[in-house]
Amino acid sequence: MSADFLDDLEALLRQRKADPPEGSYSATLLTDPVAVQRKIMEEAFEVCLELGADDVHPDRAAEEAADLVFHLMAGLVGAGVPWESVTDVLRNRRQGGER
Ligand SMILES: N=c1c2ncn([C@@H]3O[C@H](COP(=O)(O)OP(=O)(O)OP(=O)(O)O)[C@@H](O)[C@H]3O)c2ncn1[C@@H]1O[C@H](COP(=O)(O)O)[C@@H](O)[C@H]1O
């Protein structure tokens, strides 16, 4: 279910890239590589802040992680890198017993 949801989100982002609606935040990310790179770094930093807290709040950590995954996916879609190629790498590492 989780993977299906990410597939759907990727399909929506691809649609936004092909036909950007006015006022779409994702469309701006998809057409501005520097902006999306900055957001990925910002969101990664925010995840780290949450994970480094003395008392990690699971809901807040999940919110920040979701922001990071969303912006990472937008960066990948913008660059034409399929999400499946990321999951393939992870799958191959597991099957190959690299880690
Ligand atoms: N999953 C998301 C998603 N996650 C986060 N964001 C946006 O990312 C933006 C930046 O997040 P920040 O945490 O930096 O928040 P901020 O409001 O900029 O606040 P600051 O911390 O920067 O001051 C916010 O405006 C969020 O709304 C998202 N925007 C869109 N999506 C998905 O993308 C779809 C298409 O979006 P649009 O094309 O924009 O309609 C949506 O239906 C959603 O499914």
Closest by CA to 73, choosing from 1, 13, 17, 25, is 13
Q: Which residues contact 33 (CB under 8 A, 6 or more apart)?
A: 75, 78, 79
Query: Which tens digit of pLDDT belongs to each residue from 14-59?
Result: 999 999 999 999 999 999 999 999 999 999 999 999 999 999 999 9
Minimum CA distance residue for ligand 1 atom 36? 26
CB 33 within 8 A of CB 78: yes
| pLDDT of 2 higher than 80 | no
Topology classification of domain 2-96: Helix Hairpins (1.10.287)
Give the ipTM: 0.90
Query: Mean of the per-residue pLDDT values for the chain?
Result: 94
Can you tell me the distance from the alpha carbon of 49 to that of 53, in angstroms, rounded to the nearest whole number? 6
State the average pLDDT over residues 72-87: 97
DSSP 19: S
Residue extents of the structural domains in the chain = 2-96
Pocket test residue of 25, 28, 31, 43 for ligand 1, highest count of atoms within 8 A of CB:
25
